[in-house]
Amino acid sequence: MARTKIFALKRPYPRQSWNKHAVYNLYRYRQPGTANRTFYQQKFRAKQETRRFHGEYLTERKWNSMFRHTLRGVVSMDPAVMARDDGSSVVSGRGSGTDEPPRRLIGTQEPEDEELSGLRNPRIPFAQMTFAPLERRLDTAVYRALFASSVRQARMMCLHGKVMVNGIKVPHAGYMLNPGDMFSVDPLLVMSAIGEQGRSSFKKLSTQAKVDLQKAIEEGQSKTKSSTYLKASNKKVLAGNADAEVDTDTFTAAGVKPTEEATEGTESTEAASTKATKAETQPEEETSSGKKKFHLPSDWRTYLPKHPRWKIYDEWKPKRFMNLFAFVPRYLEVNHHICHAVYLRHPVARAGSAEVPNPFNHDTMQLAYNWYLRRR
């Protein structure tokens, strides 16, 4: 079974989460040292550290079956060069090419900075791709697309059947995405997962929603025949929307007389009926702004449109520390308007950069790769 306590402060392990403890642990994290250790110890330590970050909820056996020793890489080609040269110049001479190595100007030095030297002589960081097979997993992709604030949360979304792949519910966190697969999560769920905590934003209707509601009710009142609107107002649809609270200062439940017939068999609770009496005493109340107050019938819930604009749509705020992890890898194309994303291709390494996000340096990843390479 997967560990439940994963953010211990005493053992600062990097985890794929925006949890405050995880951030603090990542902040003070240092790469494992290699001094005075045997090669085996170095590899073992590197494997431990990297596995704590990548799929720590998976058993080693499961991960071992996913590991592939072949790592994907790409080389950027220049069509202009390819048009000029059919490649024969590379092997001309005595097989090593006639190109002379670039001469350095006298007096200049090789740049000390790692990044600069990388620019001059970029190498493909293949070892960083060790855990690339995990990126294909549905839960990881949901996290990478910024639809969840941790891989575990993404996993939970999958297992609860909230994630769709190509329009079909896939309740398997371990589903391996194929290039071209489109996955999606319900926007309300995403907004609460990666947004500021607190349910108040869910309960209140936004200004736009209030306008919608008013329009809908007016429409409902004007129409005597069946409308699509009333068709939609069946209980099932509304059940999910019913926990909305309406600001009492803007909305006033309109004239339901708290008679016995009214309260009997209707939804008006005691609170609603008191509100109603208040409204009845001042039926034509004017607000300070001079606008006529919008009166809401007691069965306003039945008038809610199918997708009401909750306050969260208009006033969404990111979760704390989200900006530290706000990046989308190149192998995904995400549309946050609709909370859909497409898995374009498998992640690859290219000169100077790899597409698998992790906090480990190349040495650590190389050791980890070597660990999993044994007996292969």
Beta carbon nearer to other proteins, 104 or 219: 219
Q: From the list 266, 274, 278, 287, which residue makes contact with other proteins (rule: CB under 8 A)?
A: 266
**First-to-last C-alpha distance (Å) of the chain:** 28
Integer Cα distance of 161 and 180 in angstroms: 21
DSSP secondary structure, 270-306, as one string:
HHHHHHHHHHHHSTT-B-TTSPBPEEE-TTGGGG--S
CB-based burial of residue 55 (10 Å sphere; 0-12 exposed, 13-18 middle, 19+ buried)? buried
| Nearest-approach distance from CB 104 to other proteins, in angstroms | 23
Distance CA 336, CA 184 (A): 10
Cβ within 8 Å of residue 25, ≥6 positions away: 7, 9, 12, 13, 14, 15
Q: Of the candidates 44, 63, 118, 277, which one interacts with other proteins according to CB under 8 A?
A: 118
Residue partners of 24: CB distance under 8 A and separation at least 6:
9, 12
Binding positions for other proteins, 328-357, rule CB under 8 A = 328-330, 333-342, 344-345, 348, 350, 352-357
Q: Which of residues 13-42 bind other proteins (CB under 8 A)?
A: 20-21, 23-24, 26-33, 35
Report how many residues bind other proteins under the rule CB under 8 A: 140
Residue 72 touching other proteins (CB under 8 A): yes
State yes or no: residue 52 binds other proteins (CB under 8 A). Answer: no
Which pairs with CB-CB distance under 8 Å and at least 24 residues apart come from 2-5?
2/56, 2/57, 3/56, 3/57
Categorise residue 196: left if φ over 0, alpha if ψ from -120 to 50, beta otherwise. Answer: beta
Minimum CB–partner distance for residue 363 and other proteins (Å): 10
Q: Which amino acid, residue 190? A: V
Site for other proteins in 157-196 (CB under 8 A): 165-168, 170, 172, 174-176, 178-182, 187, 190-191, 194-195
Interaction of residue 120 with other proteins, rule CB under 8 A:
no
Q: Closest approach of Cβ 364 to other proteins, in Å?
A: 8
Is residue 60 within the footprint of other proteins (CB under 8 A)?
no
The H or E element spanning position 142 is helix 138-144
Q: Is residue 277 close enough to count as binding other proteins by CB under 8 A?
A: no
CB of 51: closest distance to other proteins in angstroms? 16
Q: Which is nearer to other proteins, 106 or 112 (CB)?
A: 112
Smallest distance, Å, CB 92 to other proteins? 7
Q: Return the residues of window 91-110 that contact other proteins according to CB under 8 A.
A: 91-92, 94-95
Residue 88 found at the interface with other proteins (CB under 8 A): yes
Nearer to other proteins, 193 or 371 (CB): 193
> Is 221 one of the binding residues for other proteins (CB under 8 A)?
yes
- β-bridge mates for residue 245, sequence order: 204
Instruction: For residue 242, state whether it binds other proteins (rule: CB under 8 A).
Output: yes
Q: Which of 202, 255, 277, 370 binds other proteins (CB under 8 A)?
A: 255
Taking the C-alpha atoms of residue 364 and residue 352, their distance in angstroms, rounded to an integer, is: 17
Nearer to other proteins, 79 or 107 (CB): 79
Nearer to other proteins, 84 or 291 (CB): 84
Give the nearest distance from C-beta 106 to other proteins in angstroms. Answer: 30
Instruction: Give one DSSP letter per residue of 349-361, joined into a string.
Output: EETTEESS--S--
State whether residue 58 is helix, strand or coil.
Answer: coil
